[in-house]
Amino acid sequence: MSELTKGPAVLPREGAGEGKGAAAEGLPQTTYWRVVRARFLQNRLAVVGLVIVVGLVLTAAVGPFLTPHDPATQDLENTMAGPSGSHWFGTDGLGRDLLSRLIAGTRLALLIGLASIVLTCVIGVTLGALAGYAGKWVDAVIMRTADVFLAFPLLVGAIAIILVTGQGVWPVIAALALFSWATVARLLRSSMLSVREADYVAAARALGAGHTRIVLRHILPNSMTPVLVYAAFNTGTAIVSVASLSFLGIGVAPGVPEWGNILAEGRQFIGVSDHLWAFPSLAIVVTVLAFVFVGDGLRDALDPKLH
C-alpha cells in the first residue's frame, strides 16, 4: 500500500531538507486529508455531484417548509393538470401537487438509501474485519456465508424478505442491507490481508498491543478506502432499489409519497400526461448520478496510485 495510506497522516513537503525548514518556520504541513480534499475538488463532476447531494439533504431536512401544497391534499377538479404557475410540476390523477409529493419523497429516498448503506457497512465491516484479521476457520465460515448471500440477486432477495416481514420503510432497509453486506465484507477482508502484514502492525504487536487495538487503531483505518468508495457509489443503487421495489408494489406502502410509488402511479398515463412519470424519473436519475459522481471523485482522491 502507498505511503499515503500508512502510518501517521502527515505527508512530507517537497525536498527532504525543506520539511524541517517549513516546520521550523511554522508553515502548515500538508496532511493526508488535505491532499484528499484537494484531489477531490479538482474533479469537477465530483464537486457537482456533492453540491447536488448536499442540496438533496437540505431539501429532505426542510422539506415540509418547502412544499407549496400538502402532498396528500386532493383537488378532484384539477386532476392531471400540466405544469403551471400554481403547480410547477402539475398534478396527478387525484389532483395532488406533484412537486410537493416529489419533495416529500426526497426524504424517504435519502432515509432508506443512506440507512441501508450504513447498516450494510456496519455488518460488512464487522464480519470482514473478523475474517481478514482472524483468518483460518473464522475466515472460511464468514466467506462461505457471504457466498450464499452473493448468490441471490439483490431485488430477488429483498422481495423474499419483504414478503415475509411485510411492507414498510424498515423492512426495506433491512432487506437491502441483508443482501448487500457480503460485498463490503469481501472488500474489507481483501484490503486487510495486505495491511495486517505491514511493518507498523508488526511493531504494534511487538510493543504488546492487544488484538482489538491493533485492528481498530492500525489496520482498520488503513483498510477502509474501498468501503468508503463502495458506500458512495451504492447509495444511488440503494435508492434505485427502493424505487424499484415500490414500483413493483412491494416496497413502501402504496399511496405514500415515494418516488417509486409516484412513478408507478404515472406509468398508466404515458403518452397522455407525461409529466406524471417524467419528473419522478428525472429525480431518480439526477440523484443516482450525483452519488456516482461523488463516488468517482472519492475513488480518485483516495487512491494515490491514480496520481
Task: Answer whether residue 85 shows pLDDT above 80.
Answer: no
- Specify if 17 maps to a domain: no
- Specify if 10 maps to a domain: no
SS3 91: strand
- Specify if 195 maps to a domain: yes
Structural domain range at position 108: 32-306
pLDDT tens figures, 66-84 = 777 878 778 777 777 778 8
Top-ranked range on mean pLDDT: pick from 15-29, 77-91, 235-249: 235-249
Please state, in angstroms and rounded to a whole number, the distance separating the CA atoms of residues 58 and 71.
18
Of the CA atoms within 13 Å of residue 4, those in its CB half-sphere come to 15
Task: Answer whether residue 50 shows pLDDT above 90.
Answer: yes
SS (H, E, C) 168-201: CHHHHHHHHHHCCHHHHHHHHHHHHHHHCCCHHH
Determine contact, residues 53/233, Cβ cutoff 8 Å: no
- Specify if 91 maps to a domain: yes
Cell of 278: 417524467
Task: List 97's β-bridge partners, or say none.
Answer: 91
> How much of the chain exceeds pLDDT 90, in percent?
16
pLDDT tens figures, 51-70 = 999 999 998 888 777 777 87
Task: Answer whether residue 12 shows pLDDT above 90.
Answer: no
CATH code, domain carrying 282? 1.10.3720.10
- Residue 78, classified by CB atoms within 10 Å of its CB into exposed (0-12), middle (13-18) or buried (19+), is middle
- Specify if 142 maps to a domain: yes
- Specify if 101 maps to a domain: yes
Total tally of structural domains belonging to the chain: 1
Task: Answer whether residue 137 shows pLDDT above 60.
Answer: yes
- Specify if 18 maps to a domain: no
Determine contact, residues 100/71, Cβ cutoff 8 Å: yes
Higher pLDDT, 144 or 20: 144
Give the per-residue pLDDT at 53: 93
> How much of the chain exceeds pLDDT 70, in percent?
83
Per the prediction, the chain carries an average pLDDT of 80
- Specify if 14 maps to a domain: no
SS (H, E, C) 193-224: HHHCCCHHHHHHHHCCCCHHHHHHHHHHHHCC
Q: What is the pTM of this model?
A: 0.79
